[in-house]
Structure 1
Amino acid sequence: HLIFTDTEKLSCALQSSDCCLQDVFCAAEAIIYHFRRIQVVQDNEGLTEKPILPRLRRPPRRYESNTIPVNYASCEDFYQKQYVETLEIIINMLQTRFTQKNFKMLCEVENFILNISNKSPDGSNDYIKTIMDFCHDDIDIERLKSEAFMISDFFKVVINTNQMKIKLITKISTVCEIGQQMFQEFDKLIRLYLTIPITTATSERAFSALNRVKNTLRNSMTQSRLNHCLLAHIYKEKLDKIDRNQIMSTFISSNEQRQALFRLML
């Protein structure tokens, strides 16, 4: 119960639509550090009630083998073995999931986006190599260099003019809707970054929905209908704001046959 309560908190945090890559990394590192700490006997005392050693039961004769059952000296030894093994498995899985080879590069890309939104670059070319490794030929690097020296000034003006109640840009979502036309290469970089599933939970949920729709309706669904269903799922918040009566009216009034059939619905 103690272990899965913490992992459930991590899962809920990762599924938030406002979660960014740095939040994911910090949350995973915090859980791993917490599990490492409570693996120590002194730190896990008092977390649960005093354990009781279960009654030793002999297996049925048909299941008997040459394996000698292990006799534990105390109930603490019995449960500690299971406790430590469970924590070790979870820690290894978290480290495998969040220490992939491209994870560091994506963190550097995110830091670059946030840093140049708050201050001009210092002239170092280290970030250029990271961007080139990340986007290859998708972005004009020379144009991105020239844009980088103007972006921070642009956001300062926007924040002061629009009276945004922030002093420092700390989230990618803050810069997504601003300066798309003026800083086209910077906008491309943000779009490429946000298409990667591990950088935002929104795309993770979109792929999960795609998997459910594809498996459930794949016998009767064409690729065109699948694309339409996926777009409707991605933009469901905008769809909720559309007037359904207006859509029905436009559909029915498009030709005379529909008007004759659905006239009473207008």
Structure 2
Amino acid sequence: MTIWYNILAAVNEVSKDLQSKDMLIDVAIEQVQGLIAYFEKYRETGFAEAMINAKKLAIEMEIDPVFPKKRQVRRKRHFDENEGESSQPTEQSAEESFRVHYFLYIIDQAIGSLKRRFEEYQAYDDIFGFLFTSERLNSMDNNKLKDSCDRLQNFLKKDELFDVDGDALLVELKLLRERLPKEIKTSIDILNYLKRMRCFPTASVAYRILLTIPITVASAERSFSKLKLLKSYLRSTMLQERLNGLALISIESDFLDKIDYEVLIDDFAAKNARRAIFK
């Protein structure tokens, strides 16, 4: 319980940030990278700390703070085995066995999952990273900026069509770096500035695409969490149509609070009545 509390407490804070509507990819990368570093450190020192806390809790609850020993089952030696072949390997203590087969297994699974997520975000960083902040945009020379614009054009290209013209984006970003106020630093602030200026069409498209990506990821994670609650925990025989409807209602609850359900129900009943009359 102590181990799971420490794991879930760390994951919960980062998970909330990743599912927020205004989450940015550069922030998500820092959050996931920090969580990976936390688990790697926790892998080395966490078990000893958890043991100390668990023993204190066990004493307070008047529970003997020891690991139960498993009953050893001795294998019967076959007639054709030598004495040395049937000897049992060195047995681990109950505490060490728990650390190796339970604690380390859980932490390694968490680190592996986070690294896969980090690689996904890192792929977006390689494509859109130069647009994340004004600091990164200003730190690039013209050659690196051109390479980044060409890479973004190729990434957003399909057949002979592309959403962003790399050459046009390069020209606009060079001009934008000279005109961008010092207090504007994040990508969302840059996009709001571009909306006011109305003279950077290609850069505006690039920043719109950049800021759409994290919203898509967060919406998907919120959807899966709601679907799991509705389908697995409350009902196991629900049809897909009803499940989709309930998930949508739960996700868009803020919008639905403003709707008058009575009017919708009356309209639906009236339509059904008219259909029955015509039939």
Is this contact kept in 1: 2:149–2:169, CA < 8 A? no
Partners of 1:94 and 1:16 in 2: CA distance: 18
**Aligned with residue 11 of structure 1, among 15, 21, 27:** 15
Contact 1:39 1:87 in 2 (8 A): yes
Q: Is the 8 A contact 1:132 1:141 kept in 2?
A: yes
2:192 counterpart of 1:177: yes
> 2-side partners of 1:91 and 1:16: how far apart?
22
- 1:129-169 deviation digits (Å, cap 9, x = unpaired): 3212322211122221221122234431xx7xxxxxxx351
Q: Which has the higher mean CA deviation after the structures are superposed, 23-32 or 198-207?
A: 198-207
Name the counterpart of 2:151. Answer: 130
> CA contact under 8 A between 1:197 and 1:204: conserved in structure 2?
no
**Kindly tell me: are residues 178 and 209 of structure 1, through their superposed partners in 2, closer, same or farther at Cα, counting changes over 3 Å?**
farther
Which of 211, 223, 234 is equivalent to 1:194?
211
TM-superposed CA distance for 1:38, in Å, is 2.3
Count of aligned positions? 229
CA distance in 1 between counterparts of 2:132 and 2:30 reads 17
- What is the distance in 2 between the residues matched to 1:129 and 1:233? 41
Give the corresponding residue for 1:96: 116
1:88, distance to aligned residue in structure 2 (A): 0.9
Please give the alpha-carbon distance, in whole angstroms, between the structure 2 residues aligned to 1:204 and 1:26: 19
* CA contact 1:116–1:148 (8 Å) conserved in 2: no
Task: Write 1 or 2 for the structure with the bigger share of helix.
Answer: 2
- Is the 1:143–1:185 Cα contact (8 Å) retained in structure 2? yes
Residue equivalent to 1:56: 70
Q: Distance in 2 between matches of 1:89 and 1:206?
A: 23
The one-letter code sitting in structure 1 at the alignment partner of 2:70 is L
The CA deviation at 1:84 is 0.8
CA 1:24–1:58: 2 relative to 1, 3 Å = same
- Equivalent positions of 1:62-81 (< 5 A) are 72-81=91-100
Inter-CA distance 238–189: structure 2 relative to 1 (3 Å threshold): farther
Which residue identity does 2:98 align to in structure 1? Y
Residue 116 of structure 1 and its aligned partner are, at CA, apart by 5.0
Q: How does 1:214-229 map to 2 (within 5 A)?
A: 219=241
Tell me, in whole angstroms, the C-alpha distance in 1 between the residues paired with 2:20 and 2:151: 27
For 2:95 and 2:13, how far apart are their aligned partners in 1?
A: 28
Cα gap change, 1:109 to 1:169, in 2 (>3 Å): farther
So what's the TM-score if we normalise by structure 2? 0.60
Change over 3 Å in CA distance of 1:174–1:22 after alignment to 2: same
Match of 1:63 in 2: none
What's the TM-score once normalised by structure 1's chain length? 0.63
1:113 to 119, 126, 131: 131
User: How far apart are residue 191 of structure 1 and its match?
Assistant: 2.1
Counterpart amino acid of residue 104 in structure 1: Q
**Cα 1:197–1:13 shift into 2, 3 Å:** closer
Unaligned runs of 5+ in 2: 56-64, 74-87, 231-237, 268-279
The letter of the residue matching 1:97 is: R
Query: Which amino acid counterpart does residue 174 of structure 1 have in structure 2?
Result: D
Closer, same or farther: CA 15–132 of 1 in aligned 2, 3 Å:
same
Deviation above 6 Å: which 4+ runs of structure 1? 206-213, 232-242
Q: Are 2:222 and 2:251, in contact at CA under 8 Å, matched by a contact in 1?
A: no
Sort the Cα spacing of 1:140 and 1:126 in 2 relative to 1 into closer, same or farther, 3 A.
closer
